[in-house]
């Protein structure tokens, strides 16, 4: 009988404080790859409201195959959550323009000569296009990457998802000053700005930016030249084909 199980090597990691250009400091972990990380560097971008530690086994797997891997929490989430989330008005786009940008610059400064790869889950596969440093990325793997416009939700789940994310979420956010997702068992708590941006997103993501910023947001998206392998699942109610294609067209 052949053993087809992939055994993870016991790779250690170090905790990091990642400074963003606006002064916010993110919590993360750097997993050092075997063979001194010669195969390259990987940044893992989580989905909305998902802790970075959810991806730690995958980071360990990649490190065991020769990659240096960075996992981190976006501002307002997990290790990057402030003492009081109430009234903390971080925006969804901050996660790309500031948080992912800081992650890229940190990895680039460490090993400039190595290829820099990104694995993005859900909104984590969309955020790179918001960062000014995105041209430094060599390749991307995205899984269900989209920006959660309700018109792209799977039709069989549309009504329940609309009720959940576009009626309940903004109402609770207005009452609590943040979205208490953990108490509901839906996802991690979200900053108010992130919850509102999701709830009221239109088919064009740049419309959630102030008018004077929309053109520059589109230019940053267009500057992404890295080859992208975009994967989705047939039963992903968020990452439908229309949602994936809408993102990739940018």
pLDDT computed for residue 1 by the predictor: 40
Low-confidence winner among 8-22, 97-111, 167-181, 189-203 (lowest mean pLDDT): 8-22
Determine the Cα–Cα distance for residues 37 and 69; give it in Å rounded to an integer: 9
Token pair for residue 227?
């080859």
What is the pLDDT averaged over residues 4-20? 69
Judged by phi (left if over 0) then psi (alpha if -120 to 50, else beta), residue 177 lies in left
pLDDT computed for residue 218 by the predictor: 96
Cβ–Cβ contacts within 10 Å for residue 83, how many?
Answer: 5
Determine if the pTM surpasses 0.85: yes
CA proximity to 247, closest of 133, 131, 158, 128? 128
**pLDDT-based confidence at 87, cuts 50/70/90?**
confident
pLDDT at residue 229 is higher than 80: yes
Determine the Cα–Cα distance for residues 171 and 31; give it in Å rounded to an integer: 39
Token pair for residue 70?
């960075």
Which domains, ranges and CATH numbers included, belong to the chain?
A: 13-248 (3.40.50.1820)
**pLDDT-based confidence at 89, cuts 50/70/90?**
confident
CA proximity to 117, closest of 99, 142, 93? 142
């Amino acid at each position: 009988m052949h053993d087809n199980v992939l055994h993870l090597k016991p790779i250690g990691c170090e905790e990091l404080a990642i400074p963003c250009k606006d002064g916010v400091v993110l919590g993360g972990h750097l997993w050092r790859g075997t063979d001194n990380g010669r195969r390259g560097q990987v940044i893992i971008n989580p989905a909305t409201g998902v802790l970075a530690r959810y991806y730690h086994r995958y980071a360990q797997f990649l490190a065991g195959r020769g990659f240096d891997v960075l996992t981190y929490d976006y501002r307002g989430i997990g290790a990057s959550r402030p003492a009081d989330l109430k009234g903390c008005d971080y925006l969804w786009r901050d996660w790309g323009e500031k948080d992912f940008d800081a992650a890229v610059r940190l990895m680039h400064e460490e090993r400039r000569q190595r290829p820099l790869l990104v694995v993005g889950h859900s909104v984590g596969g969309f955020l790179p296009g918001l960062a000014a440093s995105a041209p430094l990325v060599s390749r991307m793997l995205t899984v269900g990457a989209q920006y959660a416009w309700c018109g792209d939700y799977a039709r069989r789940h549309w009504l329940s998802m609309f009720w959940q994310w576009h009626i309940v979420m903004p109402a609770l956010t207005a009452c609590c000053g943040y979205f208490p997702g953990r108490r509901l068992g839906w996802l991690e708590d979200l900053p108010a700005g992130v919850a509102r941006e999701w709830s009221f997103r239109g088919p064009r993501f740049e419309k959630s930016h102030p008018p004077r910023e929309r053109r520059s947001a589109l230019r940053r998206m267009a500057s992404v030249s890295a080859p992208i392998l975009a994967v989705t699942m047939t039963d992903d109610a968020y990452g439908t084909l229309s949602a994936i294609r809408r993102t990739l067209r940018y």
